[in-house]
Amino acid sequence: MVKDNKAKDWDGLWGEYMELLKKWTQSFQALQKISAEVQAKYNEVATKALNESSEKTLKEFYENWQKTMNEASLNAFKQFGQNWQKLTNQPGIDQMKTYGDLMNAFAETWQKMWRK
């Protein structure tokens, strides 16, 4: 009886996993399709802009784009740093910190020994 229940539990879990996997696959395919459509539209807009815009307008666009990309990447790094801080302040991470400290001490000792 216990074995039968375990088999049903396993079948249920596997079925749920497969359903989620199907949903993920559909979402991924939709994302790929939308990404291709966005890229095609961007190419169309960029071509039109290059053909119909003045040099001054293109220069302003490029400068604004570059500024925006720099800000976006800076924000991404800030977010990464914040997420990393949250992760390292969680319980159970102390062992990882201790291991990291140990490995740093080992690397320093190794460098001092072989620096000759």
- The alpha-carbon radius of gyration of the chain (Å, integer) is 27
Under DSSP, is residue 20 helix (H, G, I), strand (E, B) or coil?
Answer: helix
Q: Give the pLDDT of residue 69.
A: 81
Query: Residue-wise pLDDT tens for the chain (116 aa)?
Result: 556 777 778 888 999 999 999 999 999 999 999 999 999 998 998 888 888 888 898 888 888 888 888 888 888 888 888 887 877 777 777 777 777 888 888 888 888 777 65
Cα separation of 96 and 84, whole Å?
13
Q: How do the domains of the chain map onto residue ranges?
A: 1-54, 77-116
Those residues with Cβ within 8 angstroms of residue 93's Cβ, 6 or more apart along the chain or in another chain = 87
